[in-house]
Amino acid sequence: MARKFRKPTDDPLVLKLLLGAIAISFVGLFLVLPLAVVFKEALAKGFGATLAAISDQDSLSSIRLSLIAAGIAVPLNTVFGIAAAWAIAKFDFPGKTFLVTLIDLPFSVSPVVAGLIYVLVFGAQGWFGPYLLDHDVHILFALPGIVLATIFVTFPFVARELIPLMTDQGRDEEEAAATLGASGFQTFLRVTLPNIKWGLLYAVLLCNARALGEFGAVSVVSGKIRGETVTMPLQVQLMYENYDYVGAFSVAAILAMLALLTLALKTLLEWRYADELAASHRH
Amino acid sequence: MSLVIDSVCKKFQRFPALNGASLTAPQGAFVALLGPSGSGKTTLLRILGGLEQADSGAVRFADLNWLDMPARQRKAGFVFQQYALFRHMTVAGNIAFGLEVRPRNERPARAEIQRRVEELLELVQLKDLGKRYPSQLSGGQRQRVALARALAIEPRMLLLDEPFGALDTKVRKELRVWLRHIHDKAGVTSVFVTHDQEEAFEMADLVAVMNKGRIEQVGTPQDVRRDPRTAFVSEFLSA
């Protein structure tokens, strides 16, 4: 009587099915269901009502503001993140560990606290308050404040994705480039950047998604001036508080769609460039 | 135009990797830095390549104050033990790299770069593999690409860090013969790090035996074997 051979790392079928079922129900309950509810509620009064809610002046300006804020914050964080990751992965310098800890700070601080920091620094009673008032510069309750708060909150995304990637890739190729006569800039452009492009893309997509969805920090610094400093998440809250449920869920549905679009884009690129991706992970 | 290394010292934190290493070799020589792990051979090689900075000491080569020049100006082709090929570039791209990053007034025309790449591919016997990527090559092939890449910049000096360390014995033996042949053809001064005595004696004009950051003896393979000057050298070579 021959015993069926099972590899040591292979789990029994029952266990596989059980774990699979748990994972799927978890994802279904906590991720898919809420998302489905958002779309259902947005369309509760028919597509016409949804469209009206979205084309409302305030909603449109909230969409515009969110896109502008993300459009400034994400490129800046990408540049900072690449610079920080490059310094940390390719060089040794005093204070390196401190820098790494500092980069993680926005993740451990509550977004509301982050927003409050800017109020304390740039507010009328803040450190720079009087100076800013004298020069008629408005940071709080205006776009600059929103952008700053968004930058703070989404800062770690690019750096944290790139640091392990670049550390893992090591310095060999950069050293080779130097011995072959390349300047620092040429090395960065021709050797470092192409090696991190997939990690970078993923990080930028994540950073963008997070920037669009930021609520806490922006809520504190924006002052929620209707039509001027209301981003999409804030607009959702405002509409909900005013019992405009269809409106709130409609704008929320836009946010959800942007998130799904981000994921779809990432998946598409991964599928299209699978070979290159695999090659860049191999040594 | 000989290579003169004079009392080079280098510490990593407290650890003295190089403790006054000195060596003189004539132009065009094939020098092997031979010694156990931790003797400082790779550190010395990396200092020659500009990848590390010496704490003290001097190096003169080709009438230049070698250590005062940044790596990218030295034209010292470096071959790494783990190849360090540019993974996202083709073989041809890798070889052409050194020529493509030259400043505009020194850079050859595209057609000329292509011609040189073809020439080098033939030299390293990888004629039809120009369009492949490093991940599609065997270890031995990758190392040959690495050598072609280093030779492409018409280097003043060739530095090789245990280049065959990651390869199997048969490939290693083949490449030894082949590398020596390439060296003879190119006539470039080469410094080669190895911990393998057989390899050093088979390939080198001069063998420099290193121990604890110093070069204990330099001489032809026969001289060093016949006439070991220190206890370490005689023990190391009899092993």
H or E segment to which residue B91 belongs: helix B91-100
Could you tell me if B183 lies within 8 Å of chain A, comparing CB atoms?
no
Quick: pLDDT tens for A107-160.
Answer: 888 999 989 988 888 888 888 888 888 888 888 888 899 999 999 999 999 999
Residues 178-217 of A with CB under 8 A from B: 178-183, 186, 190-191, 194-195
| Beta carbons of A254 and A54 less than 8 angstroms apart | yes
Residue A45 has pLDDT above 90, yes or no: no
User: Which residue does chain A place closest to B48, by CA atoms?
Assistant: A179
Residue B78 to residue A175, Cβ atoms within 8 A: yes
Q: Does B78 touch chain A (CB under 8 A)?
A: yes
Do B86 and A191 make contact, defined as CB atoms within 8 angstroms? yes
Length of chain B in residues, anyone?
A: 239
Alpha-carbon distance A71 to nearest alpha carbon in chain B (angstroms): 30
Nearest alpha-carbon partner for A149 in A67, A211, A64, A217: A217
Buried b (16+ CB within 10 A) or exposed e, A58-77: bbebbbebbeebbebbbebb
Q: Which chain B residues are closer than 8 Å to A194 by Cβ?
A: 88-89
Residue A279 has pLDDT above 80, yes or no: no
The confidence score (pLDDT) of residue A1 equals 56
A28: Cβ–Cβ under 8 A, 6 or more apart, which residues? none
Alpha-carbon gap, residue B37 to B8, rounded angstroms: 18
**Could you tell me which of B178, B185, B207 has the C-alpha nearest to residue B195?**
B207
pLDDT of residue A187: 93
Question: Higher model confidence: residue A270 or residue A69?
Answer: A69
Query: CA–CA separation, B165 vs B195, rounded Å?
Result: 9
Provide the pLDDT confidence category of residue A283 given band limits of 50, 70 and 90.
very low
> pLDDT tens digits for B129-186?
999 999 999 999 999 999 999 999 999 999 999 998 888 888 888 888 888 988 998 8
pLDDT averaged over chain B? 92
Please tell me the predicted confidence (pLDDT) of residue A131.
83
Q: Which of residues 89-108 of B touch A (CB under 8 A)?
A: 89, 97-98, 101-102
Distance from CA of B219 to the nearest CA of A (A): 28
3-state secondary structure of B13: coil
Q: What is this model's ipTM?
A: 0.91
Chain A residues with beta carbon closer than 8 angstroms to that of B69? none
CA–CA min distance A16, chain B (Å) = 34
User: CB distance A173–B49 less than 8 Å?
Assistant: no
- In a mutagenesis test of the A interface, which of B116, B133, B135 is the best target, namely the one with the most A β-carbons within 10 Å? B135
Instruction: Tell me what pLDDT residue A66 has.
Output: 92
- Pinpoint the alpha helices (H) of A28-126: 33-42, 46-55, 57-90, 96-108, 111-122
Q: Does B66 touch chain A (CB under 8 A)?
A: no
Tokens 């515009």: give the residue: A64
CA–CA dist B76, B69 (Å, integer): 11
Check CB contact under 8 Å for A182 and B149: no
Place of tokens 């001097």: B58
**Taking a C-beta distance cutoff of 8 angstroms, is the pair B172, B160 a contact?**
no
pLDDT digits (tens, 9 = 90+) for A216-268: 999 998 888 887 889 999 999 999 999 988 889 999 999 999 888 888 888 88
Q: Name the one residue in this structure whose structure tokens are 């409106």.
A: A247
